[in-house]
Amino acid sequence: MNENENNFEALRRLLTLKRHELPPPGFFNGFSDQVIARIRAGEAGNVRTAVKRVSGTSWLSNFLQLFEFKPAFAGAFASALCLLLIFGIVYADRPDSGPQPFLTNTDSSGASFATVTPAAMPSENYAADLMASNNPATSLQPVASFLGSESAFAQPVSFSPSGN
């Protein structure tokens, strides 16, 4: 090893030149101050964030910050929102009034729906028809018929005279 040290003696002396390389004058005077200031700034930044979180400017920003720090809370909130939406859709499909019996005549005259001829229905029981036609669950006229497709209720009829 000593032989190696001797072989590199010139190089080692050359490397001592590195010790004479200097930073800018007065560099170390404020070095520690800068380090401490950066540490304080980092700590102050955290405190500021915490203070802002506690007494933030708006409840919405605080609420959104909860999502940032607690992803599970965001998932729970989204699930609750979805459940609320599904219940809303289900209950919105129900009629506003109580359940009505299918094809029940509400006319006060006492004439039953079965005895009323189809041609006379619009004129004689207009309110009930209107309600029935507006309610997709009880409507006698399927929506598909409006689109031109054949429905189970509308079948082609031939009026050819019998006996011919």
Nearer to other proteins, 44 or 137 (CB): 44
Examine residue 115 and tell whether it contacts other proteins (CB under 8 A). Answer: no
Contact at 8 Å (CB) between 124 and 111? yes
- CA 152 vs CA 116, 139, 145, 148, 149: distances in Å: 22, 13, 9, 13, 10
Interface positions, 1-30, toward other proteins (CB under 8 A)? 1, 4, 7-24, 27-28
Quote the least distance from Cβ 6 to other proteins, whole Å: 8
Neighbouring C-beta atoms of residue 132, cutoff 10 Å: 21
Interface positions, 36-55, toward other proteins (CB under 8 A)? 36, 38-40, 42
For binding to other proteins (CB under 8 A), which residues are involved?
A: 1, 4, 7-24, 27-28, 31-36, 38-40, 42
